[in-house]
Amino acid sequence: MDFSLSKEQILFQKSIIDFARKELNDNLIENDEKGSFSLKNWKKCAGMDILSIQCPVKYGGCKEDFLTTVLGIEALSYACKDSGLVHAIATQLCCIILLSLFGNETQKEKHLPNLSKGEKIAAQAITEPEAGSDVLSMQTAAVISGEYYKINGSKTFISNGPLADVIILFAITNPNRRQLGGVSSFIIQKDQKGLRKGEPLDKMGLRTMHNGELFFDDCLVSHDDILGKEGQGMAIFGDVIEFERTILAAAHLGTMQRILEMCIQYGKSRRQFGQPIEKFQSISNKISDMKVNLELGKMMLYKMAWMKDQGRRATLETSIGKLFISESLKKACLEAIQIHGGYGYMKEYEVERELRDGIASTIYSGTSELQRNIISSMAGV
């Protein structure tokens, strides 16, 4: 096993860090309060080819291996304090991967160039009001109606939903089968008749990323816009969720690295009882735990990315990684508040925003409880 990064990967990370520090951290407190998504910074990231990193060269991308992509997202999240923007980019990358793997030639030519350039924004629509972790209980249905599928139902908490130009929708096409051959995936345009978008949801954290509801009322979708084959939806979902959990874990680790360094710096500068607080074991133990979780998380993350580069399924590994890294991020955010004391509770220090953003990591892309169920099941329990 070789754990070293190539010179190209190291330079790639450095270029993203330098870019993000210089370009992406303006007006963040104000944007967080208003719940504003920075389209300007989105376009800057597109200009740096961050959105095109998983798009094939044939369609205007600069296709890199998945490990390099993961390293790039880790670097972006480390240097960019706008976790909402990073999460929106992660969603875009997942949709590009999904289309690259399962789209036909016509679909790829139509959508990938615009998505990789950031000219259009994509969203995945899976979660419903009564179907979160229990994906197979979704009620949104697509019924064949002549040359079209007629879709009725609703989705909620959809990342990029209010802004999306392209929506990859998962819906029931055979209610009698569901798990095996009952769910299909569709590509839907923002101006599709019968599609209605809700306003951005007012959230506790990740406020700079827009999540929202999508409503489908006799929405007619052509047979040409089905992704893959009818009934292939759960197979598609099972594959892309492994990429998604890996990309998001990379973002979490980047944030953890930034929080660790923030706490170390504060521990050196803050003095109590005549000495820097880093000298107190109660503080140094918190920092050492952060470092342990960060390093263990990196080993898990890079294994997850390597497996996907090898074309292997990584259901167990991505569930373990998602569980451990998201819970570690939440713990690091809570400990950062304790280390900063009263200052950590103040908006101007920005630690409290990291906590508000970080808590959601244990919920989206499969809750921690769901990951434990997957892990125990695959362990034979």
158 pLDDT tier (thresholds 50, 70, 90): very high
Work out the angle at residue 252's Cα, subtended by the Cα atoms of residues 250 and 258, and round it to the nearest 5 degrees.
Answer: 110
Q: Active site residue: 244, 278, 335, 354, which one? A: 244
Give the span between the Cα atoms of 131 and 127, in whole angstroms. Answer: 6
**What distance lies between CA 229 and its chain's CA centroid?**
25
Span 123-233: which CATH code? Answer: 2.40.110.10
Residue 101 structure tokens = 């793997």
Strands 148-159 and 183-189, bridge-based pairing: unpaired
Q: Which of 255, 94, 271, 260 is nearest to 170 (CA)?
A: 94
Residue 182 structure tokens = 């009952």
Give the span between the Cα atoms of 286 and 300, in whole angstroms. Answer: 21
- pLDDT tens-digit series, residues 72-89: 999 999 999 999 999 999
Span 7-121: which CATH code? Answer: 1.10.540.10
pLDDT above 90 (res 2): no
366 pLDDT tier (thresholds 50, 70, 90): very high
Residue 261 structure tokens = 């360094």
**Phi, psi (rounded to 5 degrees) for 254:** -60, -45
Span 234-378: which CATH code? Answer: 1.20.140.10
Q: Is 119 a catalytic residue?
A: no
Kindly give the residue spans of alpha helices, DSSP state H, lying in the chain: 7-23, 28-34, 39-47, 66-79, 83-102, 105-116, 233-269, 281-309, 315-340, 351-359, 368-378
- pLDDT tens-digit series, residues 160-176: 999 999 999 999 999 98
- pLDDT tens-digit series, residues 30-39: 999 999 999 9
Q: Where are the domains of the chain?
A: 7-121, 123-233, 234-378
| DSSP-derived 3-state class of residue 125 | strand
